[in-house]
Amino acid sequence: MRLLSETSKSGMNKRLISIAVSVAILLIIYSKIDIQHLLEVFQKSDPLWMTVSLGMVIPITLFTSWRLQQLMPKDTHLDFIEANRLILGASVLNMVLPSKMGDIAKAYFMKDRGHLSGSLALSLVIFEKACDMLSLLLWCVFGLFIYSPKDSFFWVMTLAVAAGLILGLLLLGSRQFAAVFFVNAIKIAPKKIKKKLSSAQTAWEEMHSYFWSDRQQLLKISLTSIFIWFLHLLQIWLFMVALRAWVPFWVNFALSPLAILAGLLPLTFAGVGTRDGALVFLYAISPSPPYFGEATAAALGLLCTSRYFLPAIIGLPFLSQMMGAAKKMRNQ
Which CA distances in Å does 161 have to 133, 158, 285? 11, 5, 21
CA neighbor of 252 nearest in space, from 157, 159, 139: 139
Segment 167-192 shows an average pLDDT of 88
Phi, psi of 76 (to 5 degrees): -120, 170
**Helix (H/G/I), strand (E/B), else coil: 245:** coil
Q: How far apart are CA 4 and CA 180, in angstroms?
A: 30
Domains in the chain, number = 1
Spatial separation of the C-alpha atoms in residues 230 and 139, rounded to whole Å: 8
How many helices (DSSP H) and strands (DSSP E) are in the chain?
A: 15, 0
Q: Which of 298, 304, 273, 283 lies closest to 26 in space, CA to CA?
A: 273
Three-point CA angle 298, 90, 301, nearest 5°:
5
166 vs 113: which has the higher pLDDT: 166
Domain limits at 144? 2-331
Confidence band (pLDDT; 50, 70, 90) for 2? very low
Summarize pLDDT for 51-71 with one digit per residue, the tens: 999 999 999 999 999 999 888
How many residues are present in the chain?
A: 332
Confidence of residue 1 (pLDDT cuts 50, 70, 90): very low
Tell whether the model's pLDDT for residue 196 goes beyond 80: no
Cβ atoms within 10 Å of 94's Cβ, excluding its own: 22
| CA 148 – CA 70 distance, rounded (Å) | 38
Q: Work out the pLDDT band at 74, boundaries 50, 70, 90.
A: confident
